[in-house]
Every structure is written in structure tokens, then in C-alpha cells.
Amino acid sequence: MKKDAPAFNVIKEMLEASGTIRNFNPEAVKPFAKLAEKYDALFLTGEGSSRMFPAGHAAWLSMMNEGLTKVFSAGSTEALIYDLKGFAVFAATNSGRTKETVRLLKKLGSEGHKGLFAITNSPGAPVIDAACMSCILSCGMEKAIPATKSLIEQALFYHALLFEMAGISLDGLDETASAFDETLSRDVSHEIVELSANAPFIYFAGWGNGVAEELSLKAGELLRKKTRYLDGTLILHGIEEIMDKGELVVLIDPFEEEEVIIKKRLEENIGVNVIAISERETIFPTIQIAEAPGFECYIQMAAAWNMLIEASLMLGLDIDHPARVKKIGNVY
């Protein structure tokens, strides 16, 4: 995606995400960490892009690192029936007016829960009144309907929060910002862009860290295509029965030992196209990304955004204005 690409807000805001990473201040999480430490675990909620990657990545980090506080996550309506007394509850909503999220915090507050935190882009929003403490994002409001730079900052907030609670410094933001910007701005092969643009259905398969799940949503918003997220190696456990020739599988950081069987069962037997996003070369057409230890998921996101934008531009779509999607899906 070139920096002189068409003047869509979503492209501008994607390109601003590297600045969001570079300028992020980990010190801002300190008061939240101090209060959250009183609880047994974190519960992260929200809807859509405000939960998928930010919360999914945080939960993945907590499972990958023994010293980090454990993280659980679910949508705000499902969480209405959960016992959350032992959890510090963090709710992310850019608008601050997401009905499900505000409703959950109000319910918990009425029950006397004192560990309710909001992350929003909107000063004075209803979610702030429902929370005990709030963080206003520094990335600025987004004009495009698809959320981009905001979900990166939400993920960084949770990343820094977990590290602060464990006494770990969140270092490497400058290097990550540079890698993110370079990945988002590089050329994507015509073959990969064409496969993405022409696919009638796209599957995003990968780790349960929120990346592939979020990209499944983003591809629907940007490319107007039907998509599905496949976690782990679900791609080899039944879903191939309904796959058709010409559909596309995007493997995010694929399991190397499974590549040959994926190629045989999907490409050779069905005619499904497979591409990958990875730090290494794979046996599939690959968007190879720079190494960013500890921040790999952010760079994977940038690579996929780049691919989706190029495919959207190839199709001549108005990527700022999906026909049906609303900026606030369900308003409080």
C-alpha cells in the first residue's frame, strides 16, 4: 500500500497506526494496573474489533508467559450471566456508546463491583459514567467505518497493562512501529492481490491470538466478501467438506509441519487457493514479514491490511463506506 494511495480515510488511519505504536506511553497504564492487581484475573470485553484482536492478543500473551495475570474474554451480552466478582473488568468501545458494553458495566456497577474500567475514544461517553476509571485513547477519532489504529492502541493498552502488573517494561515500540510502517507500505505480489480480489469466500486460519479472527471481520468490511475464521488446525478437521474450488485460505503464521497436508487436501484435492503471512518462507505464496520479537501479531495485522487494501482498490470499492455496516453497531 503506497503512501500516495487514493485518499480513503481507512488508508490514512491505517498508515497512522505506526505513529500510534511509536507514541504509545506505557506509563499511562500504571493507575489501572494498581487497581487491577487487587483481582484474581482480567476479564476483557467489548464488541467486534474492540474485542477480537485487543482481547484475543492479551489472552494469548497471558497463556504464553507464566508470570502474566490470566486473561479471559467474551462479548458483553454473554458476560451478563457470568460471575465476574473476582475479575478486573475492562471494556473497550471506541464510541463509548456500544449498548451491550455499557449495559454490562451498569449491571456490574449496580451490584457493587469496584473494578470496572473503560477504554474509549470518546470523552464524556456513557461508558465513562458506568466505569470506575477510564482511559481515553490518544490515536484520535476514526472517520472510516472499519476500525484500524484504535484496535492497535487498545491491544497496546492491554499489552502494557499485563506487563506492568508483572513488573516488565514494554520495550521495542520504536522498532515495532518502523516494522509496522514498512510492512504496511511495501508492495504485495500481484498474484496474492488477485487471489484475494477474486476469491468468492475467504478463510482466515491461525492462532487464537485475535489476528485471524479480526481479519475475518475486516475482510468482510473492506472486500465485501463472505469470510470465516478457523482457529488452530480446524482447517483439517471437517471444514474442507464445504470448501469449493477458487475459494481462498489465508494462513497466518502457519504451522510448518502441517503445510504439506494442507496443500494436498485443499489445493490439490479441492482447488482451494492458499496463501500465507509469515516471518519465513512457506510452500505457498507468502507475504514474508520482518521479525518483531514480542510484537509479531501487530506486524501480521499490517501485512494483511496491506493485502486487503490492495485487493479492495483492484475491485474499485469505496472502502470508507460499507453499504450496511454502521460505525456503532448497537447504540446505547
CATH number 2.40.110.10 is the correct assignment for the domain at 175-314: no
**What is the reported pLDDT for 310?**
96
What's the chain's average pLDDT? 94
**Domain spans of the chain?**
9-171, 175-314
**What is the reported pLDDT for 131?**
96
Alpha-helical runs (H) found in 224-295: 259-262
**What is the reported pLDDT for 328?**
67
**Beta-carbon count within 10 A of 7 CB:** 8
**Beta-carbon count within 10 A of 315 CB:** 15
For 170-226, what is each residue's pLDDT tens digit?
999 999 999 999 999 999 999 999 999 999 999 999 999 999 999 999 999 999 999
For 221-279, what is each residue's pLDDT tens digit?
999 999 999 998 888 898 999 999 999 999 999 999 999 999 999 999 999 999 999 99
**Beta-carbon count within 10 A of 254 CB:** 25
Q: C-alpha cell of 121?
A: 475514544
Q: Does 332 or 288 have the greater pLDDT score?
A: 288
CATH number 3.40.50.800 is the correct assignment for the domain at 9-171: no
Q: What is the mean pLDDT of residues 49-62?
A: 96
Q: What is the mean pLDDT of residues 296-312?
A: 97
Q: In CATH terms, are 9-171 and 175-314 the same topology?
A: yes
**What is the reported pLDDT for 238?**
87
Q: pTM of the predicted model, to two decimals?
A: 0.95
